[in-house]
């Protein structure tokens, strides 16, 4: 049975139960992972993003950069940066974060958003 909730490890002895739909993005922060919700203050999971991000993938999260994973349900805009080579996304309000997309992640992101081809 697939779980419907995820445990965020705030410490070795304290875990918070979250609905993945409430999470906007994940960000690597040293050896820990910032879990961004609607609230101003993110939660910090003591595990690295490489361990945390795969837990969120079944819930519509895509890794867009070595430091970022996003919930596709909260992506508002995909746009080319001013340099004309790189791309970025903007998350929905109230978060409104603008995050870079790694060049090797762009095709997978577009596919996950339902676009076929290049």
Q: Residue 101 sits in a domain of what CATH number? A: 2.40.50.1020
Flag whether 64 is in a domain: yes
In a domain, 1, yes or no: no
Residues in a beta bridge with 33: 28, 45
- Given a cut of 70, the residues of the chain with pLDDT beneath it are 1-2, 117-118
**Residue 73 falls inside a structural domain:** yes
Distance (Å, rounded) from C-alpha 20 to C-alpha 55? 10
**69 φ, ψ (degrees, to nearest 5):** -135, 145
Q: Going by DSSP bridges, is the β-strand pair 68-71/61-65 parallel, antiparallel, or unpaired? A: antiparallel
38 within a domain of the structure (yes/no): yes
Q: Tell me the residue range of the domain where 75 lies.
A: 6-112
Report how many domains make up the chain.
1
pTM of the predicted model over 0.85: yes
Judge whether 117 lies within some domain: no
The 10s digit of each residue's pLDDT in 26-53 is: 999 999 999 999 988 999 999 999 999 9
- Identify whether the C-beta of residue 87 lies closer than 8 Å to the C-beta of residue 80: yes
42 within a domain of the structure (yes/no) = yes
- Which residues fall within 8 angstroms of residue 45, CB to CB, at 6 or more apart? 8, 9, 10, 32, 33, 34, 35, 52
Instruction: Please indicate, yes or no, if residue 72 is contained in any of the structural domains.
Output: yes
């Amino acid at each position: 049975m697939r779980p419907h909730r995820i445990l965020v490890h705030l410490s070795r002895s304290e875990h918070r139960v979250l609905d993945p739909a409430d999470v906007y993005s994940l960000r690597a922060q040293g050896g820990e992972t910032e879990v961004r919700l609607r609230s101003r203050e993110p939660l910090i999971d003591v595990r690295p993003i490489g361990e945390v991000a795969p837990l969120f993938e079944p819930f519509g999260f895509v890794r867009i950069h070595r430091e970022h994973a996003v919930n596709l349900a909260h992506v508002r805009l995909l746009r080319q940066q001013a340099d004309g080579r790189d791309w970025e996304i903007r998350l929905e309000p109230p978060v409104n974060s603008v995050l870079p997309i790694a060049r090797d992640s762009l095709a997978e992101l577009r596919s996950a958003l339902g676009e076929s081809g290049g």
